[in-house]
Amino acid sequence: MELRPYQREAVDAVWKHISTSDTNPAIVLPTGSGKTHVIAELCRDAVQRWNGRVAVLAHVKELLEQAAGKLRAAAPDLPIGVFSAGLGRRDIGYAVTIAGIQSVYQRAHDLGPLDLVIVDEAHLIPPDGEGMYRRFLADARELCDHQRVIGLTATPFRMKTGTICGPDSVLNEVCFEAGVRELIVQGFLCPLRSRAGKATADTSDLHVRGGEFVQGELEDRMDEDGLVEAACAEVVAATSERRSVLLFCSGVRHGEHVARVLRERHGAECGFVEGNTPARKRDELIDRFKRGDLKYLANVNVLTTGFDAPNVDCVAMLRPTLSPGLYYQMVGRGFRPTEGKADCLVLDFGGNVLRHGPVDAIRLAERNGAPGEAPAKQCPECDALIHAAYAVCPECGHAFPPRQVKHAAAASDEAIVSGSDGPARRDERVLDVAYLVHYKRNDPLAKPTMRVEYRIGFNRWVREWICFEHPEGGYARRKAEQWWRRRSNDRVPGTVEEAVEWADAGALAPTLRITIEKKPGDEWERVVAYELGEKPPRLESCDGLPDEPSSPVGAGTTCGIPDDEIPF
């Protein structure tokens, strides 16, 4: 199994983190980007290179089945066991155990000492208290005091407490993150189009409990006859040329109502699954949907995490939510590309896009619980959800009137995926910086560059490329030299690998803030100005090497890390 470039970078980042820090890392990868392949590679490295023992934890059987299947395909000679009541397996004594947390949280000692515990959908680990994950990890650590935890998630935040990483959390730091927009541009994820439904409900008077709309009130509001009939009519009209439509409903009664209206009023068969649907019926409906025999499939709190159906080319959100994680999981069902699928249409009947912002830059609530202003607006002609800076709707050509006053009740200013024309410049505080060797995709003759990634928020990164190996005296090389000298007292590196090695060793001044510019028509944002901290002292390792480049980082190592630095 050959990993995609960002998957390989994620694996390398984990081993680098573990070899240089005693904290637990997290990987942030979008839905549909292949987290299971990353898990499989981590397991293979841990067992075959360092003779470690690993447990992979997940909370739904679909994730367990995916992990087991892909891990066996990637490393058929790897001893793999499955411990899950839902799958009827209780395997013990294997180098890798793929386990359902509900089945093992009280039986950690049965699995024996574990060097690594990998948690899929790691945002489900509670921030404090007991909980199944925390109980399992505490009990497992009694058998192995050097045990490390690796978390993978697409949503590295909680609605009420913010980031899942912190000094007092199970996971302490994000070591690698790939963005939705980046992977869409590279062709690894499917483009999204969004449209607001005309049949939307007013949720302003609904009560909130535990950070979410009160379930009974929400379902009553969304299940009104007129609203359901109008929404179903819109869905049918908008999906005449779509193949597989996944509908998210606000409750069981609402879901059954939606399926009935689609069937009786529009002659469209619609399956419906919820938590109490018998397993055989649920599997039959899902199988028909994936094969393309069933066009419409409605669900309530079932087909989010772990549901893998690349054929989904329309997601209809018939439920409003205050949870950015749930919003992301619903939209994420359409991320996976497949042959013949040009894009995925997102129909939003719950105001979720305007409430939460784009899926690649989800806006979290402020400390007072109030969300910041959303950067999107709704076209009055075609209901497309587009960036607020558009003067003309790119979907239908509607010309917006000149914007004069910014009213408090304005709609939002962002599309389902960001990147539309926005303000010319903006300043951002830099939360973290990563330095990576970058090879141009599908061009083996291209010179490598140093990719610098600035983290400016949750799942929000801005990147630039520094060209140390371009021809001497050329524009790109001169710019690289200027970039380095502004930040370092050490000589300019001769190779990209040398630059990354020295940057990671502390040769560069910290970047405090950046100014980002995006011109109309540009595909990427550009970093055009910096606020830097003080330059650090010269590296001792560079003092004696004024002219000769250092050895390549990867020489004689694994992922650039000597084998004896891996802690198991």
- 448-462 pLDDT per residue, tens: 899 999 988 765 788
Class of the domain covering 5-178:
alpha beta
Residue owning tokens 């945002």: 123
Angstrom distance (rounded) from CA 228 to CA 254: 8
pTM of the full structure: 0.67
- In the prediction, which pLDDT does 215 show? 93
Going by C-alpha positions, the residue among 338, 324, 268, 265 that lies closest to residue 298 is 268
Residue 394: its H or E element: none
Q: What is the pLDDT of residues 311-359, one digit of tens each?
A: 999 999 999 999 888 888 899 899 889 988 999 999 999 988 888 877 7
- Say how many C-beta atoms besides its own lie within 10 A of residue 131's C-beta: 16
Band (pLDDT 50/70/90 cuts) for residue 66 is confident
Residue 400: its H or E element: none
Domains 5-178 and 185-387 are alike in CATH topology: yes
Q: If you compute the radius of gyration of the chain from its CA atoms, what whole number of angstroms results? A: 25
Adjacent-strand bridge partners of 426 = 516
- In the prediction, which pLDDT does 549 show? 38
CB-based contact 319:166 (threshold 8 Å): no
Angstrom distance (rounded) from CA 534 to CA 150: 33
Angstrom distance (rounded) from CA 37 to CA 40: 5
The Cα-based distances of 135 to 132, 147, 170, 559 in angstroms read 5, 14, 11, 32
CB-based contact 279:305 (threshold 8 Å): no
Residue-range domain boundaries for the chain: 5-178, 185-387, 426-565
- Say how many C-beta atoms besides its own lie within 10 A of residue 537's C-beta: 10
CB-based contact 258:232 (threshold 8 Å): yes
Average pLDDT over residues 269-284: 92
The Cα-based distances of 492 to 386, 446, 485, 506, 536 in angstroms read 44, 21, 7, 14, 14
- The architecture (CATH level 2) of 185-387 comes to 3-Layer(aba) Sandwich (3.40)
